């Protein structure tokens, strides 16, 4: 009986639910804020380290094709492994209890494949004429890579960063099982108390966080790669 | 080395291979749950994607579906459904996990199906219409076969996600290989957690390789020779659909 009453109330009066969400969030803001900050920390560190590892690896893989198969193969294997399983295996060596190191190693593993693959795709999409022109101008192969190919691959790298960031925002909740969790802590609280409000708050905040990060990447891309924006305008005009 | 020996001992202990908490039972339960979700998602996402792609409608929704859902924490979906009284206990917790996983698996399949159909060369489509094929014939005989590599790539993305998340179903309602994994994590038993992880990796690899084989078979022979990059486990760059191409960049910068 009690359960039915609960279900009905949530279904019939959505305004009340929304009011509850906001009311609950205000009352419990200090806890929500702590979880949110942890979520953002875990996400930023993972994407930052992932970027610092993946792009150089992709450049090496591109410059020396013999390394391509092992690099991509390794990151594919990391990508296939479910996150909790990766936490368990990594944590066997680095510790399970609220270990940022364990969490970040696993989270970076997921960004690696996404970022590496997009960087490689971007490098592969550089028109051969641009490369030939730069070599004809006297650039060495390494200089061509740095000054011509990498800048032209930037739109792909940004696309990868956007996907990687959203993916990590979603994954961070899973670090709950090694004592972290960010917004996952709210999910856990709601689940333990059979109370949907904190779970919905966590879900909304995660999606909002991902959306804000996505917009931020778009903004940074416009600053760093101004031509990708003008190209779109040009296409519209044509 | 000591730790690896312990894991090996755990994995080869006969007691862990029998009964309702043994690896075979848990492996089978996770396999069935994942397979059911993937089939369900192919039916739902595939059909919607085919219709939208064929008619060219709803591009905004179809293209962004996969991206929008990427950030939704799967754990939140699982727990919400697991505490909704009407479904939490149905079919031994299977239903709650099934629906939550379905919500995750449909978007990538929908997006890839839509994109795959839209990528079909307009000339090919026009030629088929000119030859007198009806709309549904064009869809079945021309668009679908040409879009299949894309569709299967979407299924593979969804499958990887489903297997990963079905592990978390153990947290809420449905016992599978995630049960010993999460138990090991919660009591700091690295041997149990790692052993269960290895079993889950076997399951994930099974799905990835199985779908990889399907992908190879369904790729039309003419397209098979030019490989778009990718290996046995993952195919092609992830989320490349929305990215502007380097050609655009060059054209605009010169």
- Contact status of A86 with chain B (Cβ, < 8 Å): yes
Contacts of B150 (CB under 8 A, 6+ apart): B112, B113, B115, B116, B119
The residue length of chain B stands at 254
At residue A229, the pLDDT reads 55
Residue B163 belongs to some domain of the structure: yes
Q: Tokens for B89?
A: 């206990």
Nearest Cα neighbor of A198 from A43, A31, A38 is: A31
pLDDT digits (tens, 9 = 90+) for B128-150: 888 888 888 888 888 888 888 88
Contacts of A214 (CB under 8 A, 6+ apart): A162, A165, A166
> Which of 19-48 (B) contact A at CB < 8 A?
none
Find the angle CA(B101)-CA(B107)-CA(B111) to the nearest 5 degrees: 155
**A36: exposed, middle or buried (C-beta count within 10 Å: 0-12, 13-18, 19+)?**
buried
pLDDT by residue for chain B (254 residues), tens digit each? 677 888 887 777 777 777 777 888 888 888 999 999 999 999 999 898 888 888 877 777 777 777 777 778 888 888 888 887 777 677 777 888 898 899 888 888 888 888 888 888 888 888 888 888 888 888 888 888 888 888 888 898 888 889 988 988 888 878 888 888 888 888 888 888 888 898 999 998 888 888 888 878 877 676 664 444 444 445 454 444 333 333 333 333 33
Test mutation, A2, A82, A109, A215, chain B, max B CBs within 10 A: A82
Q: Which residues of B170-186 are buried (b: 16+ CB within 10 A; e: fewer)?
A: bbbbbbbbbbbbbebbe
- Contact status of B175 with chain A (Cβ, < 8 Å): no
- Contact status of A120 with chain B (Cβ, < 8 Å): yes
Specify the CATH number for the domain of residue B94. 1.10.3720.10
Q: Are A155 and B244 a contacting pair at CB < 8 A?
A: yes
Find the angle CA(A41)-CA(A45)-CA(A51) to the nearest 5 degrees: 150
Q: Which domain holds residue B237?
A: 20-253
d(CA B197, CA B7): 11
Q: Are A96 and B79 a contacting pair at CB < 8 A?
A: no
Record the pTM: 0.81
Residue B12 belongs to some domain of the structure: no
> Which of 150-189 (A) contact B at CB < 8 A?
152-156, 158-160, 162-163, 166-167, 169-170, 172-174, 176-178, 183-184, 187-188
Test mutation, B79, B165, B173, B178, chain A, max A CBs within 10 A: B79
Q: Tokens for B49?
A: 């994607």
| DSSP code of residue B229 | S
Residue B10 with chain A: CB contacts under 8 Å: none
Residue B51 belongs to some domain of the structure: yes
In this predicted complex, what is the ipTM? 0.77
Residue B14 belongs to some domain of the structure: no
At residue B250, the pLDDT reads 35
Contacts of A185 (CB under 8 A, 6+ apart): A31, A35, A38, A176
Contact present, B120 and B147 (Cβ < 8 Å): yes
Residue B219 belongs to some domain of the structure: yes
Q: Which residues of A130-163 are buried (b: 16+ CB within 10 A; e: fewer)?
A: bbeebeeeebeeeebbeebbbbbbbbbbbbbbbb
3-state SS string for A42-91: HHHHHHHHHHHHHHHHHHHHHHCHHHHHHHHHHHHHHHHCCHHHHHHHHH
Residue identified by tokens 């190209």 is A231
Backbone angles phi, psi at A142, to 5 degrees: -70, -40
d(CA B236, CA B251): 25
Residue A216 with chain B: CB contacts under 8 Å: none
pLDDT by residue for chain A (238 residues), tens digit each? 344 444 444 444 555 667 788 888 888 888 888 899 999 999 999 999 999 999 999 999 988 888 888 888 888 888 888 888 888 888 888 877 778 888 899 899 889 888 998 899 889 888 888 888 998 998 988 888 888 899 999 988 998 899 899 889 988 998 988 888 889 999 998 888 888 888 999 999 999 999 899 899 989 988 988 776 544 443 333 3
Determine the residue of chain B that is closest to A158 in CA distance: B243
Determine the residue of chain B that is closest to A95 in CA distance: B188
At residue A168, the pLDDT reads 92
Contact present, A226 and A154 (Cβ < 8 Å): no
What distances in angstroms separate CA A161 from CA A53, A164, A216, B66, one per listed residue? 13, 5, 11, 16
Q: Are A170 and B71 a contacting pair at CB < 8 A?
A: yes
Nearest Cα neighbor of B107 from B58, B46, B57 is: B46
Nearest Cα neighbor of A72 from B241, B163, B235 is: B235
| DSSP code of residue B168 | T
Q: Tokens for A33?
A: 């804020």
Neighbours of A44 (CB within 10 A): 13
Instruction: Report the gap between the CA of B140 and the closest CA in chain A (Å).
Output: 31
Q: Looking at the 3D structure of chain B, how many domains does it have?
A: 1
Residue B34 belongs to some domain of the structure: yes
Residue B73 belongs to some domain of the structure: yes
d(CA B138, CA B157): 27
Residue identified by tokens 């909304």 is A204
At residue A15, the pLDDT reads 58
Q: Where would I find the H helices in A64-182?
A: 68-80, 83-94, 100-124, 128-136, 141-144, 150-172
Contacts of B84 (CB under 8 A, 6+ apart): A7, A196, B96
- Contact status of A100 with chain B (Cβ, < 8 Å): no
Q: Are B243 and A73 a contacting pair at CB < 8 A?
A: no
Q: Which domains does chain A have, with CATH numbers?
A: 29-229 (1.10.3720.10)
pLDDT digits (tens, 9 = 90+) for A23-42: 888 888 888 888 999 999 99
First to last CA, chain B: 59
At residue B67, the pLDDT reads 72
């Amino acid at each position: 009986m009690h359960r039915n009453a609960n279900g009905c109330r949530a279904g019939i009066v959505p305004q009340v639910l929304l009011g509850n969400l906001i009311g609950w969030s205000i009352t419990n803001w200090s806890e929500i804020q702590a979880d949110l900050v942890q979520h953002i920390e875990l996400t930023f560190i993972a994407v930052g380290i992932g970027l610092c590892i993946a792009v150089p690896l992709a450049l090496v893989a591109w410059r020396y094709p013999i390394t391509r198969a092992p690099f991509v193969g390794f990151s594919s294997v990391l990508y296939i492994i479910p996150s909790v399983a990766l936490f368990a295996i990594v944590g066997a060596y680095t510790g399970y209890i609220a270990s940022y190191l364990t969490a970040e190693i696993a989270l970076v593993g997921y960004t690696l494949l996404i970022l590496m693959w997009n960087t490689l795709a971007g490098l592969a999409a550089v028109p051969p004429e641009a490369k030939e022109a730069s070599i004809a101008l006297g650039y060495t192969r390494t200089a061509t890579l740095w000054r011509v190919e990498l800048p032209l691959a930037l739109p792909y790298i940004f696309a990868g960063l956007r996907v990687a960031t959203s993916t990590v925002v979603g994954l961070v909740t899973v670090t709950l099982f090694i004592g972290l969790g960010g917004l996952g802590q709210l999910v856990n609280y709601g689940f333990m108390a059979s109370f949907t409000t904190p779970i919905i708050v966590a879900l909304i905040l995660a999606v909002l966080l991902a959306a804000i990060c996505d917009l931020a990447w778009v903004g940074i891309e416009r600053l760093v790669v101004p031509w990708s924006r003008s190209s779109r305008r040009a296409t519209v005009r044509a | 080395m000591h730790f690896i020996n312990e894991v090996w001992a755990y994995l080869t202990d006969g007691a862990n291979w029998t009964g309702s908490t043994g690896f075979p039972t848990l492996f089978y339960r996770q396999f069935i749950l994942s397979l059911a979700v993937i089939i369900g998602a192919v039916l739902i996402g595939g059909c919607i994607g085919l219709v939208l792609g064929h008619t060219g409608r709803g591009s905004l929704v179809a293209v962004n579906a996969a991206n929008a859902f990427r950030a939704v924490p799967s754990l939140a979906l699982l727990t919400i459904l697991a505490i909704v009284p009407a479904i939490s206990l149905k079919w031994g917790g299977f239903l709650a996990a099934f629906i939550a996983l379905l919500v995750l698996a449909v978007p990538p399949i929908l997006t890839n199906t839509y994109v795959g159909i839209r990528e079909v060369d307009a000339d090919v489509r026009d030629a088929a219409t000119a030859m007198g094929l009806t709309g549904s014939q064009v869809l079945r005989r021309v668009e679908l076969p040409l879009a299949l590599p894309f569709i299967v790539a979407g299924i593979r993305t969804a499958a990887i996600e489903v297997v990963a998340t079905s592990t978390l179903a153990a947290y809420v309602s449905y016992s599978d290989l995630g049960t010993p994994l999460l138990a090991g994590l919660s009591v700091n038993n690295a041997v149990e957690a790692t052993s269960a992880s290895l079993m889950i990796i076997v399951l994930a690899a099974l799905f990835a390789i199985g779908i990889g084989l399907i992908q190879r078979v369904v790729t039309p022979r003419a397209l098979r020779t030019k490989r778009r990059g990718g290996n046995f486990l993952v195919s092609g760059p992830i989320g490349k659909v929305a990215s502007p191409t380097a050609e655009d960049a060059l054209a605009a910068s010169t």
